[in-house]
Amino acid sequence: MSDVDLDDIKRRMEGSLNSLKTEFMGLRAGRASTGMLEPIMVDAYGSKMPMTQVGNVSAPEPRLLTVTVWDASLTSAVEKAIRESDLGLNPMAEGTLIRVPIPDLSEERRKDMVKVAGRYAEAARVSVRNVRRDGIEAARKMEKDSAISEDERRDLETSIQKLTDDHVKLIDDTLANKEKEITQV
């Protein structure tokens, strides 16, 4: 029927949702989780690399993470990336081992983490809307090129909008659950 592939649009929107869930893994409410450091990108070898590609992250204790950096020359870059993340962590390097104590969450810190979660969710919503825009533009171009009728274009736009609404609702639900987890003492 068309160059507008609804399955591809759905896959791209689900990618935005999955990316959000990955970022949310990094927002832990007071307990150490190796997923906390996964979204952090480290300046290494002239480019940005995920934390998991420069070292091994482990949680030896409930309130401590350790990062064993594989290349000693990257230790300071990893330490800097953790310190500059929005997680409010204060890493301490000992050779190629970086200890990252997880502080108790104060009420203020919980509010900050909820704000960070909100920014992540908004970025995911924008991503979903960009996918919608691309799909609708493709449908309009096909109508202009006489590949589909005006009714087919309208049907495609309606389907794309429904996918968008469904994914934005999933993002909002995921955010609400994360906020509840963060604010729970």
Domain assignments of the chain as residue spans, ordered by start? 6-23+106-183, 31-101
Check pLDDT > 80 for residue 86.
Answer: no
Domain 31-101 has CATH 3.40.50.300: no
**Are the CB atoms for 98 and 66 separated by under 8 Å?**
yes
Check pLDDT > 80 for residue 155.
Answer: yes
Pick the CATH number of 6-23+106-183 from 3.30.1330.40, 1.10.132.20, 3.30.930.10, 3.40.630.30: 1.10.132.20
111-120 contacts, C-beta under 8 A, 24 or more apart: 112/86, 112/88, 113/27, 113/29, 113/182, 114/179, 114/182, 114/183, 116/27, 116/86, 117/24, 117/27, 117/175, 117/178, 117/179, 117/182, 118/175, 120/20, 120/23, 120/24, 120/27
Residue in the structure block whose two tokens are 């890493």: 91
Q: Across the chain, what does the average pLDDT equal?
A: 87
- Claim: this prediction has a pTM higher than 0.85: no
Check pLDDT > 60 for residue 2.
Answer: no
The Cα–Cα gap between 136 and 75 comes to 46
Q: Mean per-residue pLDDT for 69-97?
A: 87
Q: Mean per-residue pLDDT for 129-158?
A: 92
* pLDDT the model gives residue 1: 43
* pLDDT the model gives residue 3: 67
